[in-house]
Structure 1
Amino acid sequence: MTNSIQRQELSSPRYEYGGDDHVFVELSEEMSFDANFEAQAITQEIRERDLPGIIEVAPANASYLLHFDPGELHPDDLIEELKALREEIDITEYTWEARVIDFPVLYDDPWTHEVMMKFRDRHQDPDSTDLEYSARINGFDSVDEFIDAHSGAPQMVTMVGFVPGLPWTFQMVPREQQIEVPKYVQPRTETPGRAVGYGGAFTATYPVKGAGGYQLFGRTPVEVLDVDQELPDFQDSMVLPNPGDILNYRRIDREEYDAIREEVEAGTYEYNIGTIDFRPEEFFEDPQGYNERITEVLD
């Protein structure tokens, strides 16, 4: 088993205008920890520097997007700032404060099971459930072993988007240990809110009911989006997980699911959240040991 993560050498970034008031920067054509950590670092530094004219900063899996006021900031000046910033940042020395969030999941739950069975004609393997199919193509002997692998290592929130409040997370393990599954052949027209799905190498939690094409693994009793900001942990933002946060997916049973859901609906549930100074270099050197230290900050 690999004890470290192989570093990815990134090519030169691609800088593009996005209309009159956006700049898009592609760091790599494929997702890697190096690309995402660089996107995290640069966008965090942009926020810290509080440049005049910057309206919104949005990191993504291997890129980032900046929304700015062209009346205050010329896009060419912004691009020059971004190029200089990239030269300054050394991921091996960079750190950021990351929240580690306990994220309970009822795997193989009745709600996503009912939905997936309605749409078997849109799936690669109509005779299997999504979990059975995903376990088989990833070489696991059973669904239980596959669930243990999915919940066996924390996952970094690499971006939030596509629909409001949807966190994309990437399992913090060497590439050869990462789970990979394709999306449905044809998307579903229905997915329960709070469904935990998987597509490519990313876990995604659907914040609300809607269409979707990711393989369905389970459902969480907690919210990732609270528009009315009624829950205590949403006081500062209607979206809980932010890029750079770490989710620790934890397998629960129906009894715990119902108990947590009751607290959420009563507006009293408080998330189990710890904080760490995330150090990419230490993670690259010993991901398994570093992951163990990450999860120790949870009560």
Structure 2
Amino acid sequence: MTADTTARYSWGGDEHIFVELAESMSLPASIRAMAITTSLRANRPDGILEICPANASYQVRYDPDVIEPRALLKHLQDIEREIGDAGDFSLATRVVEIPVLYRDPWTTETLMRFRDRHQDPDATDIEYAARINGLAGPEEFIRAHSGSPWFTSMVGFVTGLPFMFQMVPRQRQLVVPKYLRPRTDTPKQTVGHGGCFGCIYSVRGAGGYQMFGVTPAPIYDPAQTMPDFDDFMVYFRPGDIVKFTPIDRDRYDDHVQEVEAGEYRIRSRRVDFGPKAFLDDPDGFNARLLEVLRAD
């Protein structure tokens, strides 16, 4: 695993340090941010209030009355040197199965209302995505999109929205630009894609990512009424590994009924993720990883 190991540190007022680990966003840079922030949580000095990993960076909020800023800066630099390229990092996380109704009627109706903002007004989002990625059509695109897991690099922008890198070699990643101009509407729980990032829209609202389908799985529950939200109103956590599973309309409707009855659970399993093992053999690692979901 190789990465640029020189970070750029900058101050954000009197309470924040922002650390940029790489100028370009990539899975190795995201893993390195995860490794550093995981180590920081394990060796957390008094005065650190919040730790927020992102795609190729992280930010720390601290109390300057408790920890001297330069002492915190040195602590972060020491962790950076210790982590290096994160080749020895191991993350205790979850592999999560998210069912997806691809080419659903709701995102299809929405995208058709905004074709004047799209690169290809004569195609649907998934038809366009298939074509520019050199795939035969939507079915081949769905197989590529759902055939490998995705690494959750950060959660945010909109509350509960996960950003995800596809866990394949970079030259095989699906890449699709965002809309030319953002939409003013996106259905809740839309499975979207912009640049190299997959995402799930946690709430209905504006958006610019291409829309491929919708999941019945709630990922944001501010009232915490669903069983997956006993501890927190947001389901996803940085480091979660996602497997998208195509479903048909009947299965989608069944899951919606379970949601309405307050009985739906997202299927997940605990797993240890070692980035070196993944980068040495991505396909073999992914096959072993997805076997975890099939285990009873």
Q: TM-score, normalised by structure 2?
A: 0.97
Question: Could you say which residue in structure 2 is the equivalent of 1:38?
Answer: 32
Q: How does 1:100-115 map to 2 (within 5 A)?
A: 100-115=95-110
1:29 aligned partner, one-letter code: E
Whether 1:143 aligns to 2:143 is: no
Distance 1:271 1:195 in 2: 16
The alignment partner of 2:38 has SS state of helix
Distance 2:112 2:67 in 1: 52
The answer on whether the counterparts of 1:17 and 1:75 sit within 8 Å (CA) in structure 2 is: no
Summarize deviations over 1:90-131 as a string: whole Å, max 9, x none. 522110111000111100000000100000000011011000
Whether 1:88 aligns to 2:46 is: no
Question: Could you say which residue in structure 1 is the equivalent of 2:17?
Answer: 23
2:144 aligned partner, one-letter code: A
1:238 pairs with one of 233, 250, 272: 233
The answer on whether the counterparts of 1:100 and 1:274 sit within 8 Å (CA) in structure 2 is: yes
Q: How does 1:189-204 map to 2 (within 5 A)?
A: 189-204=184-199
Give 1:298 shift. 1.1
Root mean square deviation, CA, Å = 1.0
Give 1:247 shift. 0.5
Distance 2:231 2:45 in 1: 22
2:176 pairs with one of 161, 175, 181: 181
The alignment partner of 1:297 has SS state of helix
Summarize deviations over 1:4-62 as a string: whole Å, max 9, x none. xxx44315100001111111000001112221111001111111223211111110000
Distance 2:132 2:29 in 1: 27
1:125 aligned partner, one-letter code: D
2:215 pairs with one of 211, 220, 231: 220
Summarize deviations over 1:53-97 as a string: whole Å, max 9, x none. 111111000000111112212222211101001111252211011
Question: Could you say which residue in structure 2 is the equivalent of 1:47?
Answer: 41
2:273 pairs with one of 278, 283, 289: 278
Question: Could you say which residue in structure 1 is the equivalent of 2:50?
Answer: 56
| Alpha-carbon spacing, 1:11–1:43, altered in 2? closer, same or farther (3 Å) | closer
1:169 pairs with one of 151, 164, 171: 164
Deviates more, 1:257-266 or 1:126-135: 257-266
Give 1:251 shift. 0.6
1:73 pairs with one of 67, 73, 96: 67
Runs of 4+ in 1 over 4 A off after TM superposition: none
Give 1:277 shift. 1.0
Deviates more, 1:230-239 or 1:274-283: 230-239
1:21 aligned partner, one-letter code: E
How many residue pairs get matched? 293
Summarize deviations over 1:211-270 as a string: whole Å, max 9, x none. 000000000000111111111121111111111110101111111111111111211112
Distance 1:183 1:104 in 2: 23
Distance 2:63 2:262 in 1: 38
Question: Could you say which residue in structure 2 is the equivalent of 1:124?
Answer: 119
Question: Could you say which residue in structure 2 is the equivalent of 1:4?
Answer: none
The alignment partner of 1:105 has SS state of strand
Give 1:165 shift. 0.4
Name the % identity.
51
Give 1:181 shift. 0.6
The alignment partner of 2:293 has SS state of coil
Distance 2:3 2:267 in 1: 36
Distance 2:179 2:68 in 1: 42
Deviates more, 1:177-186 or 1:64-73: 64-73
